[in-house]
Amino acid sequence: MSSKTNVQHETTPIYTCDSKVHHTLKTVHDHLHQLCCGHTHRLVKVETMDGDVFEGHIVHCDKSILYIRLSNEGCNRAFFPGPVSPYYNNFVLPLVLFNLLAISLL
């Protein structure tokens, strides 16, 4: 008969979000989600906090992700190597809402 010991490991968080910051982030998240859902199928230009800029149509906004179908504008980006392709128009890019700096209607 084997004896099993119940080992419980305590975890020590290395980060805990402040309740005021959590409230602010939740408010921003809800606002962005509602805004993006209200502009589905609209042509937009999106700028991320890293300085990347994308143009396309909002396809869907689900929880914390914005999905845009990229237009042919700016398709010579470094992470889309190769020649411009007609298939590029069908590429849907998922973007994290909290990484967005600006969304403009075109």
| Structural domain boundaries in the chain | 40-105
- For CA atoms 85, 100, 45, 69, the dihedral sign is positive
pLDDT value at residue 83 = 47
- Contact assessment for residue 104 and residue 45, using Cβ atoms and an 8 Å cutoff: yes
Please give the CATH architecture assigned to the domain spanning 40-105. Roll (2.30)
64 DSSP 8-state letter:
T
pLDDT value at residue 88 = 53
Q: What is the pLDDT along the chain (106 residues), one digit of tens a residue?
A: 555 667 777 889 999 999 999 999 999 999 999 999 999 999 999 999 999 999 999 999 998 999 999 986 554 444 554 445 555 557 899 999 989 999 999 9
pLDDT value at residue 55 = 94
